A and B are shown apart, each in its own frame.
Chain A
Amino acid sequence: AQSVTQLGSHVSVSEGALVLLRCNYSSSVPPYLFWYVQYPNQGLQLLLKYTSAATLVKGINDFEAEFKKSETSFHLTKPSAHMSDAAEYFCAAQGGSEKLVFGKGMKLTVNP
Chain B
Amino acid sequence: DAGITQSPRHKVTETGTPVTLRCHQTENHRYMYWYRQDPGHGLRLIHYSYGVKDTDKGEVSDGYSVSRSKTEDFLLTLESATSSQTSVYFCAISEGPGIGTEAFFGQGTRLTVV
Residues on A facing B (Cβ under 8 Å): 6, 9, 32, 34, 36, 41-46, 49, 51-52, 90, 92, 94, 96-105
| A42 pairs with B107, CB closer than 8 A | yes
Q: Which among A6, A49, A97 is the interface contact of B102 at CB below 8 angstroms?
A: A49
**A100 adjacent to B103 (CB under 8 Å):** yes
Of A44, A49, A101, which is in contact with the most chain B CB atoms at under 10 Å from its CB?
A44
Interface size class on chain B is 20 to 34
A9 to B42 CA separation, bound complex (whole angstroms): 10
Chain B residues whose CB sits within 8 angstroms of the CB of A41 once the complex forms = 108
- Chain B contact residues, CB within 8 Å of chain A: 33, 35, 40-45, 48, 58, 90, 92, 94, 97-98, 100, 102-108
Give B35's nearest chain A residue, CB to CB: A102
Pick the residue among B43, B58, B97, B100 that contacts A90 (CB under 8 A). Answer: B43
CB distance from A25 to the nearest CB of B (A): 14
Report the separation of the CA atoms of residues A41 and B9 in the bound assembly, to the nearest whole angstrom: 11
- Most chain B CB within 10 A, of A43, A90, A92, is at A43
B68 to chain A, nearest CB (A): 16
B65 vs chain A, min Cβ distance (A)? 18
Residues of chain B with a CB closer than 8 A to A32's CB: 100
Closest Cβ neighbor of B44 among chain A residues: A102
A-B contact pairs, 10 of them (CB 8 A): A43-B107, A44-B92, A90-B42, A94-B97, A94-B100, A96-B97, A97-B97, A99-B33, A100-B103, A105-B43
Q: How far is the CB of A65 from chain B (nearest CB, A)?
A: 14
CB of A9, distance to nearest CB on chain B (Å): 7
B43's partner among A49, A52, A98, A102 (CB-CB below 8 A) is: A102
Most buried by B among A46, A51, A92, A94: A94
Query: What is the distance, in angstroms, from A27's C-beta to the closest C-beta of chain B?
Result: 13
| CB-based contact B48/A99 at 8 Å | yes
